[in-house]
Copies of this chain bind each other. A is one copy, B any other.
Amino acid sequence: MSEVKIGRFYGLGVGPGAPDLLTLRAHRILTTIPVVVYPACKPGASSYAWRIVREHIPEATRRLAQVFPMSRDWASLIPVWRENAREIAAELRAGNDVAFVTEGDPMLFSTFLHVWELLRAEAPEVEVEVVPGVSSMCAAAALTGIALGQGDQRIAVIPATWHEDALRDALVEWDVVVLMKVARVLPRVIDLLKELGRYDHAALVSRGSSEQQIVTRDLEKFRDRRLNYLTTVLVGRPLAFVEGLLVESLQATIEEEEAS
């Protein structure tokens, strides 16, 4: 009796939203792998990660939608997640490679991290390969022109759902601040940005680079609107470093040129 070779599990970052912001590696895997798993927040709901990749997936590929409910009630979540991990483990043990697709990058606030954790408990023998993707914050920076960091700048990435003091500290002390998951707390974020004098250097990006993207510096316009979970506010110190030095150094150069 020959043993079935266990499949390989891929945590696949599919980028921020545009299908062509997939990497060549992710594309190769998705066009050859037999099983693609994608997360949805409820049964039958559309999946953002799936919409990003679906145009690349061959007809014959098997697709498994798995439900990962949005909830803070961990005791009820874990059995659902564990069931998902078991379903994946069964596919792998049948010898199939499986790709779990996740928007943005798999190592940055993704459902994949939970799946990985539970799969490791369920089937520690499985080989896992993480394929990094373009993160939503890099896409947000590209779309807004707000640099994530240059020179000696320091960057803070923080879920906006943290208590106000934590947000205040980050906004006071850090050059660039990326606020994740702002959807439910936008009014508080706007008020803080204004109070701390950083509103003019902020931008809001939701599902950046996708067809449904919102990219705006007019945060107030969205104060009371319902926003997607995947909404980020980027707060920059736009070019403070280089600009400051530029002025100084250009001045020096001009003086040198005049003197020569």
Contacts and interface: CB of A to CB of B under 8 A. Distances in A.
A139 interface: yes
A7 interface: no
Contacts of A108: 138, 141, 147-149
A141 B158 CA distance: 17
Interface residues of A, number: 72
Binding site secondary structure of chain A: mixed
Interface string A107-132: 11110011001100000000000111
A6 interface: no
B132 A16 contact: yes
Contact of A75 (B24, B152, B161, B253): B253
Contacts of A113: 147, 150, 239, 242
A107 B178 CA distance: 13
Contact of A133 (B138, B145, B159, B245): B138
Nearest to A251: B75
Given A141-B107, A166-B154, A117 B239 contact: yes
A134 B22 CA distance: 10
Interface in A132-190: 132-135, 138-139, 141-143, 145-159, 161-162, 166, 170, 174
Nearest to A79: B253
A61 interface: no
A256 B78 CA distance: 13
Closest 8 CB pairs of A and B: A107-B141, A130-B142, A155-B157, A132-B138, A20-B25, A20-B24, A132-B142, A105-B138
